[in-house]
Amino acid sequence: MVNPAIWPVRRDDGSRTVAVRFRYSDTDAPDQVRQAVATWIEDHPESDLNEDLSRSPSINVLDQESLDLLIEARPDSRHWKDWMVYLTQAIRASVSSVECEGFADLVGGMFRPYVPD
């Protein structure tokens, strides 16, 4: 059994994959989310995502109402959560038709609901 205090679970090599799950109501939302992520990355050239992430953040459309922002963290990553938070904030600020539902640990299979401030 996985210790719930350890989130997210790491693979044997130390890497982890987390998804920020969004529900959306507009069919254009997936493209708008992709654009929000691309814009944030372009507007923040000082952020070296490649140091912390094994691949660029990507969007996975789950169905006609939900999508995931995928964050693939390197084993030695220290700032992957920062990038996840910044990108989530950028999406929420620029795409009005999305609502953050929570955070999925794609290695350990656990889901944590989003709790607004």
Q: Which residue has the higher pLDDT, 3 or 72?
A: 72
Output the six-digit token pair for 43: 């507007």
Give pLDDT, residue 2.
52
Output the six-digit token pair for 32: 């708008």
pLDDT tens sequence across 66-113:
999 999 999 999 999 999 999 999 999 999 999 999 999 999 999 999
pLDDT tens sequence across 31-74:
999 999 999 999 998 888 999 999 999 999 999 999 999 999 99
pLDDT tier at 15, thresholds 50, 70, 90: very high
Q: Are 102 and 96 in contact (CB under 8 A)?
A: no
Summary count for the chain: helices (H), strands (E): 3, 5
- Report all structural domains of the chain as residue ranges with CATH numbers, in order of start: 16-113 (3.30.70.1130)
Give pLDDT, residue 3.
57
Omega prior to 8 cis, within 30 of 0: yes
- Partners of 18 in the β-ladder: 71, 105
Give pLDDT, residue 80.
95
